[in-house]
Amino acid sequence: SSGINAEWPLRPGEEAVNLVMEAKSSSIKMLGELFATLFSEKPPLMNADGLLTGFQLAFESAQDLAIDVPGIYSIFGRLLGKSYADEHVTLKLIKGAMGPLKQSGKAGDVLCEIITQALLVIGAKGRMEIQQRWGKEKMTWSEICDNHHELIEKYKLDFLSSSSEPKESADSGINISENLRTMLEDDKSKDDIFCYVDKTINPDCQKDEPFIKNLVTAICDFTIDADPSSVEKFNVNETKFKKVSPILTKYLQSSKDNLLVELHALDAVQLLVHEKHHPQALAYSLFCKLEDDDIITEQGFRNWRDNGVEQQGHGVMRAKLKQFFEDLSRCSGDESDTNSENVQQ
């Protein structure tokens, strides 16, 4: 069963085209609304497969129909837009039924018409809603048409351009830390890594805790070499750190107020050192490199010392870094660091 009531035509798309060949615009809109309503009946009188199977037959005749009805591709959009807006059909399913339209080069036009109608139905949040659906369904223009740049401009769908297609959030399940570590081991350039991050992580998420921690963990772990003279000793590789320093700077000093980002970063360093059972001088070496290369500010270090979020290993780290904070205080001419540390011991 197609999910369509037996009294309803078994090929709704084809029947719809027959009905609207000479119909007014208002009639086309009403028929589109009727399709969406049939999905909402209990039990439903329409399902996605039934609707799109019928439309596929109409798509096959589209080139011939266009001779008498030049606006046929727009009509397809108005008939399906409401059902897509109400989430009765997905873009992926619609794309699957568009084989005949791809052959004639009209698949992109029809998809744009459907999206345009859906935007009118959804209203103010339509762009964001459809962008999220586009990303969730992993839609790409290259699978639909060759002239998408022209269509995006024509239909004002810039929010679905290739440069603004939704990206993953920082905690989407992609193993960012592992991927970054692999790229570093493969000697990828900083520009390669910037490109990977920009393609993978939404710009709005590039200051979030999950991404910052993954980034710092991967990069700092990459710079740490085991000391062959002792199984419990590790050294920071100066050459490696010099290579990754610009990457850390880009993401940790991307704006004027980076205090929270720096806190996430130092929390990540703390957990990494704790995981390695606090090897001698490792925390001090990492903190010195982060300070020498202006990756973390003095205020950022102090904020971590006083307000670190992660509890595991924080007390041990702080004790091992007493000399670091005394040096920081001496260099800045601020004795408050030494006094504060003495109070906290």
Whether the pLDDT of residue 250 is over 80: the answer is yes
Work out the average pLDDT over 96-110.
93
C-alpha distance across the termini of the chain, in Å: 75
The most confident of the ranges 2-6, 127-131, 291-295 is 291-295
Task: Note the pLDDT of residue 232.
Answer: 75
The most confident of the ranges 22-26, 45-49, 296-300 is 296-300
Residues 211/201, Cβ–Cβ less than 8 Å = yes
Residues 332/324, Cβ–Cβ less than 8 Å = no
**Whole-number Å distance between alpha carbons of 48 and 152:** 26
Work out the average pLDDT over 122-138.
83
pLDDT, tens only, 190-224: 999 998 888 888 887 888 888 899 999 999 999 99
Output DSSP code: residue 253: S
Q: Which amino acid is at 259?
A: L
| H or E element in which residue 236 lies | strand 234-236
- In sequence order, what DSSP letters do the residues of 21-61 get, joined into one string? TT--HHHHHHHHHHHHHHHHSSS-S--HHHHHHHHHHHHHT
Nearest to 303 by CA among 241, 237, 258: 258
Nearest to 242 by CA among 265, 268, 222, 226: 222
Task: Note the pLDDT of residue 259.
Answer: 92
Residue 308 Ramachandran class (φ > 0 left, ψ -120 to 50 alpha, else beta): beta
Alpha helices in the chain (DSSP H): 12-20, 25-40, 48-60, 62-68, 72-85, 91-96, 99-104, 107-122, 126-136, 148-155, 176-185, 190-200, 209-223, 238-252, 259-275, 282-292, 298-307, 314-320, 322-332, 336-344
Q: What distance separates the 2 farthest-apart alpha carbons in the chain?
A: 88
Residues 83/39, Cβ–Cβ less than 8 Å = yes
**Whole-number Å distance between alpha carbons of 110 and 77:** 6
Nearest to 263 by CA among 207, 337, 328: 207
Nearest to 58 by CA among 94, 7, 4, 5: 94
**Whole-number Å distance between alpha carbons of 155 and 321:** 59
Q: What is the pTM of this model?
A: 0.51
- The residues facing 235 across adjacent strands are 225
